[in-house]
């Protein structure tokens, strides 16, 4: 997210600054609000805030500074206590179900038949839920095309805080030892626990949000959101006076805007080609293939996939 701020500023001769809330991982809503207010007091035209934890502080900041624009990455429209939508906040979300689908499809096409999904937020985080449901759909579709049956362990256990933990590593270790070949690590620093288990068991991992291949040689690909590009796109609307198009409304970016996808230049898939991926990507882009975003439909019967929740 910060890369997008820096790139846009550098390309347009603008200044920028990172305001870190006090108390690090223990930051409170007050800490986050103070950081936002410091940015406003420092003369910011626009403040970019990333992650759902920003909601309470961002609502306060937007009400207190109606002439300042805010970009809420991985966010949604916000309202004041009277229910009035805050038009100075642009909620920018992503179609994670598309990225998850592409990852699940690629994994099965590459030859994996025993998969795992370990998600953050305890099953309450919409972005993680969309990733997971898309992953299931893509894996099932590829299995149907190959006329094979695949299995998937699917769990929110130990992911409520998005943190690495010995318990999570033990769970992932058990999965690998029971035959799971690749796990989609969908939740912040949970990644460290899952890659540690993968390294100990010669297993594979699918990263999330950004290309995580540089963080562990167990990563075969990543389900990515083009966070930097999305921030640059949003900031451009501040300075070309079209912010009203995204302020106060829900914006969801996906394949159609090249905002989600897999990193074809760094993946280590061996049986699934870039050409095959690009063909699938185009089907989603032109609407030939639609990925269901309603993760309430997760627990259904799948033609070629057994889901173990």
Q: What is the pLDDT, as a whole number, of residue 8?
A: 97
Q: What is the pLDDT, as a whole number, of residue 306?
A: 98
Strands 182-186 and 204-209: parallel
C-alpha span between 34 and 257 (Å, rounded): 34
Give the Å distances, CA to CA, from 89 to 12, 15, 84, 96: 22, 21, 12, 21
Query: Residue 305 class from Cβ within 10 Å (0-12 exposed, 13-18 middle, 19+ buried)?
Result: buried
Q: Which two tokens stand for residue 45?
A: 């035209």
Q: What is the pLDDT, as a whole number, of residue 100?
A: 98
Q: What is the pLDDT, as a whole number, of residue 52?
A: 84
List the pLDDT tens digit at each of the 309 positions of the chain: 999 999 999 999 999 999 999 998 899 999 999 999 999 999 999 999 998 889 999 999 999 999 999 999 999 999 999 999 999 999 999 999 999 999 999 999 999 999 999 999 999 989 999 999 999 999 999 999 999 999 999 999 999 989 999 999 999 999 999 999 999 999 989 999 999 999 999 999 999 999 999 999 999 999 999 999 999 999 999 999 999 999 999 999 999 988 999 999 999 999 999 999 999 999 999 999 999 999 999 999 999 999 999
The pTM score is: 0.88
Asked whether the beta carbons of 134 and 96 are under 8 A apart, the reply is: yes
C-alpha span between 71 and 240 (Å, rounded): 15
Q: What is the pLDDT, as a whole number, of residue 17?
A: 97
Q: What is the pLDDT, as a whole number, of residue 294?
A: 97
Q: What is the pLDDT, as a whole number, of residue 164?
A: 94
- Give me the residues paired with residue 222 across strands: 207
DSSP sequence for the chain: -HHHHHHHHHHHT------PPTTGGG--HHHHHHHHHHHHHTT-SEEEEESGGGHHHHHHHHHH-TTSEEEEET----B-TTS-B-TTEEEEEE-HHHHHHHHHHHHHHHT--EEEEEESGGG--HHHHHHHHHHHHHHHHHHHHHT--EEEEEE-TT-TT----HHHHHHHHHHHHTT--EEEEESTTHHHHHHHHHHHHT-EEEEEES--TTT-TTEEEEEEE-HHHHHHHHHHHHHTT-GGGTTTSEEEE-GGGT-EE--TTT---SSS-HHHHHHHHHHHHTTSS-----GGG-SS--SSEEEE-
């Amino acid at each position: 997210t910060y890369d997008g701020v820096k790139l846009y500023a550098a390309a347009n001769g603008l200044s920028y600054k990172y305001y870190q809330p006090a108390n690090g991982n223990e930051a409170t809503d007050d800490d986050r609000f103070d950081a936002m207010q410091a940015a406003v007091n420092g003369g910011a035209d626009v403040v970019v805030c990333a992650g759902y934890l920003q909601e309470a502080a961002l609502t306060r900041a937007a009400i207190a500074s109606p002439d300042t624009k805010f970009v809420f990455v991985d966010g949604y429209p916000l309202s004041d206590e009277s229910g009035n939508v805050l038009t100075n906040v642009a909620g920018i979300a992503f179609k994670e179900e598309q990225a998850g689908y592409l990852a699940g499809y690629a994994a099965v096409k590459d030859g994996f038949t025993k998969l795992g999904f370990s998600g953050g937020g305890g099953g309450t985080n919409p972005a993680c839920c969309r990733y997971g449901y898309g992953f299931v759909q893509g894996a099932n579709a590829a299995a149907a095309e190959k006329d094979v049956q695949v299995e998937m362990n699917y769990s929110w256990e130990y992911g409520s805080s998005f943190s690495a933990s010995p318990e999570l590593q033990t769970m992932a270790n058990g999965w690998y030892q029971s035959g799971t070949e690749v796990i989609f690590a969908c939740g912040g620093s949970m990644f460290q626990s899952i890659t540690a288990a993968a390294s100990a068991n010669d297993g594979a991992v699918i990263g999330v949000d950004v290309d995580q291949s540089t963080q562990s040689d167990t990563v075969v690909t990543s389900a990515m959101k083009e966070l930097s590009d999305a921030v640059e796109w949003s900031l451009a609307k501040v300075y070309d006076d079209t912010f009203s198009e995204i302020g106060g409304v829900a914006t969801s970016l996906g394949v159609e805007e090249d905002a989600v996808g897999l990193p074809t230049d760094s993946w280590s898939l061996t049986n699934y080609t870039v050409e095959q991926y690009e063909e699938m990507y185009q089907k989603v882009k032109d609407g030939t293939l639609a990925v269901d975003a309603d993760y309430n439909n997760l627990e259904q019967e799948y033609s070629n996939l057994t889901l173990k929740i």
